Amino acid sequence: MNLELTNDARSFLEDLPSKQYKQVASKIFELLRNPYPHDAKHIKGLQGYRRVTSGEFRIVYTVDAETIKIALVGKRNDDEIYRILDRKRL
């Protein structure tokens, strides 16, 4: 399984303090072992997108046969991440 990050996801991660970066990166790498964890949820209205949380952050991703694509990472209690995703349709 391959891992791919969009520029938006990469930029968000680069701006995180090291503690939060490690926390979110750890969750992303867990997705490589299990792309469908029990806490993953489908995003209504956006076919194929799932989300998981890591502390105060939300990770939005898609899975195909060979690749997990991290579309966005954002604050968990901020719906802006969904507006961005809907606008870009990453």
For residue 86, give Cα distances in angstroms to 8, 44, 61, 89, 90.
Answer: 14, 11, 13, 5, 8
Q: With the CA atoms of 82, 6, 8 and 23 taken in that order, what torsion angle do they form, in degrees rounded to the nearest 10?
A: 90
- Condensed to tens digits (0 to 9), the pLDDT of residues 25-56 reads 999 999 999 999 999 999 988 889 999 999 99
The structure's pTM equals: 0.90
CB–CB of 23/54 below 8 Å?
Answer: yes
pLDDT confidence of residue 84 = 79
**Domain range list for the chain:** 2-88
Q: Which of 13-17, 52-56, 61-65, 79-83 has the lowest mean pLDDT?
A: 79-83
Element (H, E) at 75: strand 67-75
| Alpha-helical regions (H) of the chain | 7-14, 18-33, 80-88
For residue 75, is pLDDT > 70?
A: yes
Architecture of domain 2-88: 2-Layer Sandwich (3.30)
pLDDT at 40: 96
Q: Which of 86, 90, 44, 53 is nearest to 70 (CA)?
A: 90
